[in-house]
Structure 1
Amino acid sequence: MRHRVRAGDPAAFGELFDVGARRVYNHAYRLLGDWSAAEDTVSLTFLEAWRGRNRVQPEGGPLVPWLLGIATNVARNLARARRRHAAALDRLPQPRDEPDFADEVADKIDVLNSARAAQQALSALRRPEREVFALCVYAELDYVATAEALDIPVGTVRSRLSRARARLRDVAVPPVAAHEEAW
């Protein structure tokens, strides 16, 4: 597979997409907390993978860690662009407040509340810890694959994951308390 991808074989990229697209999407969603941004990340990840196919090492294991490493970088860039866009919008005059019934309905959906609470807990982590946590826990990569995806030593993966878990224990809010606060 690595040789075929490296050679630019479209069928190999189709197989790689079939194997990795869902994992890239889930990883991006967990990093960004936005379905649309996760879809953009999938598209941009495979575009970058195509462009960087000659950097694939001929020998090695599965290509999913390579894709997740690309996705992590793409997600960083998209998050940076979102922050810049938000900062630009903050500089504009604020429109008058109008009641939005969609917000009222969305706040009452339990699934969205749970996702929001999880995303909030993850946002309390520093970016490097959040990325390692997402790859190890959500993408289910082992330490070696995570280290390869982020281009860092395995020991760094272990220490970041340990700090992330400790911090999440500190900021975690029991679901019952979170539900009561919403009402």
Structure 2
Amino acid sequence: MGDTESSEAGIWRRGLEGDAKAFGEIFDLHKDRVFRHAFRLLLDRHDAEDVTGTVFLELWRKRTRVRVVDGSLLPWLLVTAGHAAANTRRATSRYRALLDRIPRTEHLPAVEDEVLARLAPLGEDLHRLLQQLGPIDRSLATLVIVEGYPIGEAAELLKLTPAAAKTRLSRMKARLRLTIAPALSGQGDIS
């Protein structure tokens, strides 16, 4: 085991000196142990694969500060896997809590063919307008306007105050009216 430890330290030194192959050798040497540790903590193959990738990305990012213990990087890798697995568990927990807060509907009403026919000419303009919005405004528009969620729930999800969400929606609707007004001329109301 002494030879493996000393050779691993040598491989790592080569990696720190710029030898790209050395990093691949370290990955090959420890990827299975890191994956098994992550899997033990998460009990999910896909999450364990993600954690394994994160661990080796962190190894590369923090390579000048990585602590080698008894000639091996494995202890550092396993501790980092533990931290990454905890982060994954917290993110999964938050995501599940969010899904539990979203109201479930038994049946989504069908969209009337007539409404679709009237909206068809707006599709390109509407798509272009949505693409111009920032990610928060796009999510807000999708949740409130398209999916019909209450503005308060959408605001909470997006970490906005209800007043800020209302202001953003008002501005988006004004821009939408200006954008689609030419396409609506002669078609009447679309609601």
Query: Normalising to structure 2: TM-score of the pair?
Result: 0.46
Larger radius of gyration between Structure 1 and Structure 2:
2
Greater RCO structure (CA 8 Å; 6+ sep): 1
